[in-house]
Amino acid sequence: MEKAKLTYNGMTHEMPVLVGTEGEKGIDISKLRQVMNLITLDVGYQNTGSCTSSITFIDGDLGILRYRGIPIEELAENGSFSEVAYLLIYGNLPNKAEQQLFSQRLTQNSMIHEEMMRFFDGFPPTAHPMAILATMVNSMSVYYTDYFTEDFQADTFDLMAASLISRIRTIAAYSYKHSIGHPHVYPKRDLKYASNFLYMMFDSPVNPYVPDPDIERALSILLILHADHEQNCSTSTVRLVGSSMANLYASICAGICALWGPLHGGANQKVIEMLDEINKKNLSIKNCIDSAKDKNSKFRLFGFGHRVYKNYDPRAKILKQYCETIFKKYYYDDPLLAIAMELEEAALKDSFFIERKLYPNVDFYSGILYRMIGIPTNMFTVMFAIGRLPGMIAQWKEMHDSVPHKIGRPRQIYTGSNLRHYVPLDER
């Protein structure tokens, strides 16, 4: 094994260098404090590995993304969302019997407890669907208690995973129905994952849902592209919360909250709001690019830039192409697509973006496709969460099964006051 040497204050410490299956290297600094009384400091974890993982591989310089070794392009072209979920969680694509059992579990766990329906009435119709989603997922821990025990068994995990993947879709659709004041629509057992979601979203007694294979495929692709992305902010949150042995529902709820932020999953909503504003106010593309570069301006080019990708995000490439194809096929026009493409072209020619290697990320084109499907803008991040759920579950399981199990607990460099003493109120 290769070693890295650190010399400090006359002492030398040798640390093992771990090499991943794709050749990435990392120095194992776990004994550094014990030996040299030093910690490492890396604000925002820009260069810190928190675990080893065999789930997802990203090469950010080359723009490569693979789930369990399979390129994202192949999965988006050929896979179904449920088989990709299975692949992420269990490590391999399911065979026919495994696929059948998994689908059966999803179907049997698709309804939510009728008592949970009352929770929806407690939210104002204007409630953001991400708040509703996090609350409802957390409350699953009090309704589906049979699914988790201290002495965690493989089959209870299988049920809990299926319960989450299936019910999150029902919860999301019900929150939409609640927001528009319509009665909810129960899931149908003979529909596939994406179709069932669209049916629950858009079917009504006066306007029956008419299935469209292209639209259902578009949704499946979107979900597949979001299904995992290794140690991002929300997934790391799921691992961290789960490392205290919190149950899967609570850990996923925390991950959903982390995903909501506009620098992460919330960026898809921000992108459409930004494109919409450019369209409505007829803003010039040059001015937008200039504002995005101006450190004194609050304007950021949402859907651009990524901590890991220093090249075109492969998911954005697939979505951009898919938008163009399906728009042509349907003779559908959305002025926001043209604006997005103009913005992209201008940014990719600009030295600010070139020097910083800022490219469109997954959120840049996803919202345009969600719009075509009919998903309201404030639900875009919920769609991200539905897609990301199998990855979060897979990462939680990997963390949970890791030996030795370690609670996540970073260190810090304290920069506060030195010792001082309590002063009574009337002497302050």
- Is 361 a residue that touches ligand CMC (CB under 6 A)? yes
**Cβ-closest residue to ligand CMC?**
305
- Closest distance between ligand CMC and the C-beta of residue 255, in Å? 12
Active site residue 13: no
- Is 320 a residue that touches ligand CMC (CB under 6 A)? no
- Closest distance between ligand CMC and the C-beta of residue 133, in Å? 17
Among candidate residues 333, 363, 400, 405, the one labeled active-site is 363
- Is 349 a residue that touches ligand CMC (CB under 6 A)? no
- Is 306 a residue that touches ligand CMC (CB under 6 A)? yes
Which listed range, 55-63, 138-146, 186-194, 356-364, lies at the site for ligand CMC (CB under 6 A)?
Answer: 356-364
Binding mask 180-219 for ligand CMC (x = CB under 6 A): ----------------------------------------
Among candidate residues 306, 313, 333, 334, the one labeled active-site is 306
CB nearer ligand CMC, residue 295 or residue 420: 295
> Cα(104)–Cα(107) distance, rounded to whole angstroms?
5
Binding-site size, ligand CMC (CB under 6 A): 20
Which listed range, 123-131, 134-142, 297-305, 318-326, lies at the site for ligand CMC (CB under 6 A)?
Answer: 297-305
Contact between residue 86 and residue 94 where contact means Cβ atoms under 8 Å apart: yes
- Is 72 a residue that touches ligand CMC (CB under 6 A)? no
CB nearer ligand CMC, residue 173 or residue 267: 267
- Is 303 a residue that touches ligand CMC (CB under 6 A)? yes
Active site residue 401: no
CB nearer ligand CMC, residue 94 or residue 262: 262
CB nearer ligand CMC, residue 115 or residue 294: 294
Site for ligand CMC in 241-270 (CB under 6 A): 263-265, 267
Residues 6+ apart with CB under 8 A from 244: 407, 408
When binding is defined by CB under 6 A, the residue of 178, 229, 371, 397 that contacts ligand CMC is 229
Binding site for ligand CMC (CB under 6 A): 229, 232, 263-265, 267, 292, 300-307, 356, 358, 361-363
Give the residue numbers marked as catalytic: 306, 363
